[in-house]
Structures are given as structure tokens and as C-alpha cells.
Structure 1
Amino acid sequence: MASKRVKIAGRVQGVSYRAWTEERAVGLGLDGWVRNRSGGWVEALFAGDQDLVEQILAECLEGPRAARVEAVEVLAENEASEPGFRVLPTE
């Protein structure tokens, strides 16, 4: 098991990025969460099989069609996560 909390910067709010992330994470069987941040970026925690966590990080560089991702920065690793994947309120 691995986990990574990331900051996703660029045009990532108002383009269904959170819904897209939730759909992809659930499809991969990952635990964690995603939320908008008041600074205009998206924060997410992905937890699960190391290869699947790396896969979703690579996919986050693209995001949904309307997004324009500039960077995906790892903020922390090996954080605990509750089972399941959810969208959290903006913080």
C-alpha cells in the first residue's frame, strides 16, 4: 500500500476535475479524497497499490478534457486514508 497527497495546479476548477478524479480513483479501486482549494488549485489524496497510485498521478497530468494542468506536485506520502474515495468540500 502507498499513498500520496498532491497539489494539482492550472485550470482545474470549474472544469469537473473533482468529479473526473473521483470517477478515475473509484475505477482503479483507490481510497482517498479530492477537494478544491481556495487558492484555485485541487488537492487530492490517493491510497492503494503503488502502481495504481502512480497510474492516477500520470492521468492527473491530463485531467478532464476542459482542464489545463500545469503541475502535479507531491505534498506528502504515506498518509492514512479511510476506505473509499470521496469529494470533500472546498477548503
Structure 2
Amino acid sequence: MMRGSKGYYSGTRSLLRKPTRARGKPQIGKLLHPYEAGNQVIIKMNSSVQKSMPHKRFHGKIGQIIEKRGRAYVISVPQGEATKTIIVRPDHLEPYTGQ
């Protein structure tokens, strides 16, 4: 009997699935959105772009941008009592409006 896989993307079948008409490359406006330090963002993984994709535990979380590093952003995300720092490209970010 084989054990279940414990890979990086295990258990993400429904998490990374996109609706039929949303498949393909991301929209250019999403990539060009200007983020600044202190802005709050929603981490929403885009499965069509694997580069700089955060871990599945951060999907749907709200974090705060600390700085820009190259093409990516350094984001601080609260997780329980700890605060994690992750590096994510804007493909996997959405602006948080604070509803």
C-alpha cells in the first residue's frame, strides 16, 4: 500500500482550479497595478503562473506590503500568533479594499 503524497501542491485540486472562461494568461491590468509599502493585499494564487507562487496555506489571506524586491513584493502575513514574511509576485495579489 502506498502512502499519500505530501508535495507542495498536494490537496489543491479545487483551490487552484479556475472557472472555464478565466483560464489562460492573467490580465495585464492585474500585473501593472501599483502597490506601495503599507498597502493591504489579498493573496490569491493564480495557477497559470507557477513562478513565485506562495504556499497554499496563504491563499485567501490578507497581508501588508513591506517593500518591493525586484519584480516581487515582500508581504507580512499573520498566521496564528506568528507573523510570516513571504515574497510574492503581483500575479498572485489583489488589492484589498477593506469591505
- Structure scoring higher RCO (CA < 8 A, sep ≥ 6) equals 1
Give the alignment's TM-score, normalised by structure 1. 0.29
Instruction: From the two aligned structures, give the one with the greater strand fraction.
Output: 1
Q: Of the two, which has the highest radius of gyration?
A: 2
Question: Which TM-score applies when normalising by structure 2?
Answer: 0.27
